[in-house]
């Protein structure tokens, strides 16, 4: 079937229409292309297709550098678009989400930069089959074994490719680009596991029982302890770009003495940088992350180990909130309003969640300000959205 692609789904599929009007999601197709497709799934409301041939390519289409894409690897969905088109696609994904999900008519948004397009990921979650690390397939749970991964940090790729992981089914590989130390966090114990020398192999249970496993990264002129169970951005470069972006916004919008509530604070990267010299409360539910934050920032700030939803609200002048991919808990916009904050920065790693949460914050009496889009995940359709609000 020949179709014209005029949209893009947030997972990176091109979107066109079948002759009967149903949407067709086409992996590997780009906006403004004419493609010949094969239908691979048919549902009442939509179809899925794969590209047989590109009849009229987008001028920004390029040859993907990874051989594993054609084997179905689901890790990168936009390698066939050049950097300029990836940027335009991400801007469009965010714009459409704010219009469609957030129901905003007019807003100011712009691109705030990105990380290097290859070798950026210092943490990678891999599936394992027959001892070999790989990635899940696109829209599937199939295992695709990897002999290379161009978005992984060199050291992460080396561990991925040159290890034998026995009978386990999942491993998280995390490396420090600062010290070179690496962790392989495995789903279960298996004495046949073999990794390159120097890699600390630790099971999820050993960590929960108190084994020490951490790396130290260097971001914004400081060393940060990041334990195996603590969240950290996909790369220290991305973390640094986020900090600089949020710091600049805060400096332009609130006074130097304004107090800060850091919601979903992780190991403390915003509290310890944007909050430097301020009265800060950091609220984080994960014990490992809050222990890292206490190690990293000592008593410079107040630490609260709690779900935001259970936190005893106290007054703060501004809030920085950086939730996980699912976005703010439903009650959290109200809690933000209860802090009395006059300014809010919301950092979201999912465009749909960003737009939904922005609407909920506005419904609490705030006005949406500038939105900055960052590319912390090149080659994928993921995007980081920094939205601002004032009242």
Query: Is residue 214 part of the contact set for ligand SAM (CB under 6 A)?
Result: no
CB under 6 A: which stretch of 107-115, 164-172, 249-257, 307-315 binds ligand SAM? 307-315
Closest to ligand SAM by CB, 232 vs 366, is: 232
Local structure of 262: helix, strand or coil: strand
Query: Is residue 317 part of the contact set for ligand SAM (CB under 6 A)?
Result: no
Q: What one-character DSSP code corresponds to residue 268?
A: S
Contacting ligand SAM within 238-267 (CB under 6 A): 264-267
State the Cα angle at 83 between 82 and 87, rounded to 5°.
120
Query: Is residue 375 part of the contact set for ligand SAM (CB under 6 A)?
Result: no
Structure tokens at 87: 């940027």
Cβ-Cβ contacts under 8 Å for 10 (sequence gap 6 or more): 93, 97, 350, 351, 352, 381
Query: Is residue 329 part of the contact set for ligand SAM (CB under 6 A)?
Result: yes
Closest residue to ligand SAM, based on beta-carbon distance: 266
Contact, 64 vs 56, CB < 8 A?
no
7-8 vs 14-17, strand pairing mode: antiparallel
Give the 3-state secondary structure of 227-261: ECCCCCCCCHHHHHHHHHHHHHHHHHHCCCCCCEE
Q: Least distance from C-beta 95 to ligand SAM, angstroms? A: 23
What are the residues facing 218 on neighbouring strands? Answer: 223
Contacting ligand SAM within 100-129 (CB under 6 A): none
Query: Is residue 231 part of the contact set for ligand SAM (CB under 6 A)?
Result: yes
Give the one residue of 323, 327, 333, 378 binding ligand SAM; rule: CB under 6 A.
323
Give the one residue of 270, 343, 366, 389 binding ligand SAM; rule: CB under 6 A.
270
Give the one residue of 118, 276, 285, 342 binding ligand SAM; rule: CB under 6 A.
285
Local structure of 52: helix, strand or coil: strand
**What's the CA gap between 306 and 166, in Å, rounded?**
37
Local structure of 338: helix, strand or coil: helix
Query: Is residue 376 part of the contact set for ligand SAM (CB under 6 A)?
Result: no
Cβ–Cβ contacts within 10 Å for residue 209, how many? 8
Number of residues in contact with ligand SAM under rule CB under 6 A: 21
**What's the CA gap between 108 and 372, in Å, rounded?**
9
Query: Is residue 172 part of the contact set for ligand SAM (CB under 6 A)?
Result: no
Query: Is residue 322 part of the contact set for ligand SAM (CB under 6 A)?
Result: yes
Cβ–Cβ contacts within 10 Å for residue 307, how many? 12
Give the one residue of 58, 286, 380, 381 binding ligand SAM; rule: CB under 6 A.
286
Closest to ligand SAM by CB, 77 vs 227, is: 227
Contact, 375 vs 115, CB < 8 A?
yes
Closest to ligand SAM by CB, 69 vs 349, is: 349
Closest to ligand SAM by CB, 73 vs 241, is: 241
Closest to ligand SAM by CB, 140 vs 326, is: 326
- In the complex, the residues that contact ligand SAM under the rule CB under 6 A are 231-233, 264-267, 269-270, 283-286, 289, 307-309, 322-324, 329
């Amino acid at each position: 079937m020949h179709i014209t692609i005029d949209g893009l789904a947030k997972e990176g599929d091109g979107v066109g229409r079948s002759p009967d009007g149903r949407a067709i999601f086409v992996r590997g197709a780009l906006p403004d292309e004419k493609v010949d497709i094969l239908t691979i799934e048919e549902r009442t409301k939509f179809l899925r297709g794969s590209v047989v041939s590109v009849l009229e390519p987008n001028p920004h289409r390029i040859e993907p550098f990874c051989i594993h894409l054609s084997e179905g690897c689901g890790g990168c969905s936009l390698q066939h678009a050049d950097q300029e088109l990836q940027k335009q696609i991400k801007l469009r994904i965010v714009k459409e989400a704010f219009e469609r999900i957030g129901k905003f008519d007019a807003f100011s948004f712009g691109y705030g930069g990105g990380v290097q397009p290859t070798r950026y990921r210092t943490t990678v979650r891999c599936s394992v089959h027959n001892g070999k690390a790989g990635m899940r397939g696109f829209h599937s749970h199939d295992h695709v074994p990897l002999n290379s991964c161009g978005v992984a940090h060199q050291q992460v790729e080396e561990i991925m490719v040159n290890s034998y992981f026995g009978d386990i089914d999942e491993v998280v590989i995390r490396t420090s680009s600062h010290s070179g130390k690496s962790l392989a966090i495995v789903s279960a114990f298996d004495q046949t596991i073999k990794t390159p020398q120097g890699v600390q192999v630790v099971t999820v249970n050993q960590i929960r029982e108190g084994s020490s496993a951490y790396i130290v990264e260097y971001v914004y002129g400081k060393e940060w302890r990041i334990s195996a169970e603590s969240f950290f951005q996909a790369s220290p470069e991305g973390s640094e770009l986020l900090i600089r972006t949020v710091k600049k916004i805060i400096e332009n919008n609130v006074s130097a003495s304004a107090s800060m509530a850091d919601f979903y604070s992780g190991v403390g990267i915003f509290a310890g940088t944007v909050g430097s010299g301020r009265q800060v409360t950091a609220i984080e539910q994960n014990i490992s992350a809050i222990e890292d934050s206490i190690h990293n920032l000592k008593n410079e700030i107040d630490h609260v180990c709690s779900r935001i939803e259970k936190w005893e609200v106290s007054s703060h002048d501004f809030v920085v909130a950086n939730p996980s991919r699912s976005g703010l808990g439903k009650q959290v916009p109200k809690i933000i309003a209860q802090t009395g904050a006059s300014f809010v920065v919301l950092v979201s790693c999912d465009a749909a969640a960003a737009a939904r949460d922005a609407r909920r914050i506005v419904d609490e009496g705030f006005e949406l300000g500038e939105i900055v889009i960052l590319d912390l995940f090149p080659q994928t359709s993921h995007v980081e959205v920094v939205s601002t609000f004032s009242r």
